[in-house]
Amino acid sequence: MTEETHRIAKLLARAGIASRREVERMIGDGRVAIDGKVLETPATIIADLKGVTVDGKPVGKPEPPRLFRFHKPPGLLTAERDFSGRPTIYSALRNALPQGTPRLMPIGRLDLATEGLLLMTNDGALKRAMELPSTGIPRTYRARAYGDISQSRLEDLIEGITIDGVQYGRIDANLERKTGRNQWIELSLTEGKNREVRRVLEHLGLEVSRLMRTAYGPFELTDLARGQAAEVKQKEVEYFRKQLMRVG
């Protein structure tokens, strides 16, 4: 039987080192080596991670894919570091996760002012699959907005909308409750383009004062407190991965 081989970037992503794109940058920066020899290309084909080091440290065997729900507070960047010194999600995660938790990567992003559910995983392949628009995983948000809007106008978003030349796909939007000119709106979409919800609502003449993601696929924020994290049961992760593979 022929031994199965993969590109090193894929194996390092599966091992939770970073996403494939980030691993490729690390290789370009000379941070990855095999048996002491610095790699020159991410296209290197290997069977396993034996002898592979990142920043001089050996890479361990890939752990099973794990998934965590994290309630991101507003005011945190979805990034590993910020050169201007602004706080990132990892500042809060250090206190929210138990010791021994592997390095985690965010699935998708929430902008600085947006709060709510941010899924974190140790598996680069799972991260990539869940972020791809082609998998059609719905993201659900609740927005508090000021201005005048009707349910019928929100329903027009089901056909998608173009704003400043950018095409946004189907959005299922519902007016939850209204007090004067303030209202809560629930929106479900599958693309998750940069600042999509804010841009669409602002295009409709609304001023967004609060935005929260409440669900990503079958995983919900529920009553998870701000700044807290909770691991998804392994059997739920495996079931979801199997469903995702069928879609892909």
Reported as a single tens digit per residue, the pLDDT across 172-214 is: 999 998 888 899 999 999 987 889 999 999 999 999 999 999 9
Phi/psi of residue 12, each to 5°?
Answer: -70, -35
Domains of the chain in sequence order: 6-58 (3.10.290.10), 67-133+219-247 (3.30.70.580), 138-216 (3.30.2350.10)
Whole-number pLDDT of residue 240: 94
Matching residue, tokens 């610095």? 38
Phi/psi of residue 132, each to 5°?
Answer: -65, 130
Matching residue, tokens 């920066």? 29
Q: Which own/partner pairs from 160-169 qualify as long-range (CB within 8 Å, at least 24 positions apart)?
A: 161/200, 161/203, 163/199, 163/200, 163/203, 166/193, 166/199, 168/193, 168/196, 168/199, 168/200, 169/133
Whole-number pLDDT of residue 1: 33
Whole-number pLDDT of residue 248: 57
Alpha carbons 171 and 196: distance in angstroms, whole number: 10
Sites in the chain below the pLDDT cut of 70:
1-4, 247-248
Instruction: Report pTM.
Output: 0.80
Q: Which of 29, 82, 111, 156 is catalytic?
A: 111
Query: Is 223 one of the catalytic residues?
Result: no
Alpha carbons 202 and 64: distance in angstroms, whole number: 42
**How many residues does this entry show for the chain?**
248
Alpha carbons 218 and 215: distance in angstroms, whole number: 7
- Taking only the tens place, the pLDDT of each residue in 48-77 is 888 999 999 998 777 789 999 999 999 999
Whole-number pLDDT of residue 112: 94
> How are the residues of the chain apportioned to helix, strand and coil, as percentages rounded to the nearest 5?
25, 30, 40
